Each structure stands twice: as C-alpha cells, then as structure tokens.
C-alpha cells in the first residue's frame, strides 16, 4: 500500500495521476502555475509586434533614401540619352552640310530630315528625347541669301516637363553665351556643333 504525498490517502500506486481525495498528483509533483502559459504567449506576441515595427521602420528609412536617388538616376539617364541623340543628329547635319556647300536641310521637325539624312548620314533620325517628347529642329536661314539658304540649325529638347522655355528657339541664341542648367525641366539646345543650353552639375 502506498500513500499520497500531499494528503496521505492510501492509494494503490504513487504517480502523476490525481489523488481521489485531494485531486493533486499523488507523487507530490507541484501543479503548473495558473496563467503561466497565457503570460508567455502574450510576451511572445509583444516581442513579435515590436520586431515587426522595427523592421517596417528600417525599410521605410531605406526606401526614403533609395527611392529619390533611384528617380534622380533615371532622370539623369534620360538626359544623357537625349544629349547623345542630339549630338548624333548634329554630326549627321554637319556631314550633310559639308557635302552640300555648307547648306543644311530644311524642315520643321527631325522627321522631315529622314529623306535627306537616312541612311547615308545617319541610320535612324531620332525624333523623340529620353522623356518621349518630340525634338524640335529649326533651319536658321541666311537673310542675305536670295534663295533662303539654310546656313545653320538648332536641335532642342524641352526637357522632362516637355515645355520649351521660349516662344521660339532662336530666342535662345539671341545675345546669349552657352548656358549651363541645373534642372531636368530645362531645355537642352544644340546649334553649330555645340550645346547652347546644357545640363551641368547636380540636377533637380
């Protein structure tokens, strides 16, 4: 005969089983503290929430730094592509003028130049800038020539916003030296083998 370690009741065998008299394990093992499981679960939930808040905050900080830099880099890439296309078209125009008594082709837009420039002077005449806005081409006529000889040219992109800053491109040349710009919205203007308005330094 064996006895319950808690109440001394006679039982057949001591074990973790509840004593018929006191309801406690007959071998004296203490009962688990009430509510201990709930406390641990609540602590785990709090720790998980705090961890998520920290991670989300970190991601937000990284995004706030990276996204503006990514957008700026994209705009700079569009700008460089635009300038490269303008230079290529300008080189084709210079080659054409060299073969045609220093007279440049007439036209109101780059698409008007395809018939005279492709494919001899350029494979494909670019018609839009990096932002998808149409290039503007102007033939600068010689006022002293009786047949309106095209003695010069201007190629321009309106920049990111697609709006030219002047009512007409020749106003850009009027009494101005080449001007550097620091805004993606500014015009990019090319004439006589050089940029008249061009991006320089940090753009915004």
> Residue 174: its pLDDT value, please?
61
Please indicate, yes or no, whether the overall pTM of this predicted structure exceeds 0.85: no
- pLDDT, position 18: 79
Q: What is the pLDDT of residue 197?
A: 86
Span 78-199 CATH architecture: 2-Layer Sandwich (3.30)
Residue 120 is predicted with a pLDDT of 93
Query: Contacts by 140-143 with C-beta closer than 8 Å and gap 24+?
Result: 140/104, 140/170, 140/191
Tell me the pLDDT of the chain averaged across its residues: 83
Residue 29: predicted pLDDT? 76
Domain ranges for the chain, please list them: 1-31, 78-199
The pLDDT assigned to 175 comes to 56
Which positions of the chain have pLDDT values less than 70?
A: 1, 26, 31-39, 143, 145-146, 170-177, 201-204
Compute CA distances 22 → 12, 13, 14, 80, whole Å. Answer: 15, 15, 13, 87
pLDDT in tens, 129-175: 999 999 999 888 876 766 778 888 999 999 999 888 877 776 666 65
């Amino acid at each position: 005969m064996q006895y319950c370690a808690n109440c001394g009741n006679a039982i057949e065998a001591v074990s973790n089983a509840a004593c018929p008299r006191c309801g406690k394990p007959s071998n004296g093992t203490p009962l688990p503290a009430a509510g201990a499981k709930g406390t641990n679960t609540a602590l785990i939930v709090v720790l998980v929430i705090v961890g998520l808040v920290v991670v989300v905050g970190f991601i937000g900080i990284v995004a706030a730094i990276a996204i503006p830099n990514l957008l700026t880099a994209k705009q700079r890439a569009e700008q460089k592509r635009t300038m490269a296309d303008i230079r290529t078209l300008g080189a084709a125009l210079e080659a054409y003028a060299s073969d045609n008594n220093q007279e440049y082709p007439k036209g109101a837009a780059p698409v008007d130049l395809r018939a005279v420039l492709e494919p001899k002077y350029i494979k494909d005449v670019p018609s839009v800038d990096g932002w998808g806005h149409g290039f503007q081409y102007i033939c600068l006529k010689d006022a002293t020539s009786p047949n309106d000889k095209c003695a010069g040219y201007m190629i321009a992109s309106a920049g990111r916003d697609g709006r030219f800053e002047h009512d007409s491109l020749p106003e850009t040349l009027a009494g101005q030296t080449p001007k550097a710009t620091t805004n993606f919205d500014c015009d990019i203007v090319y004439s006589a083998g050089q940029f008249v308005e061009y991006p320089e330094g940090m753009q915004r």
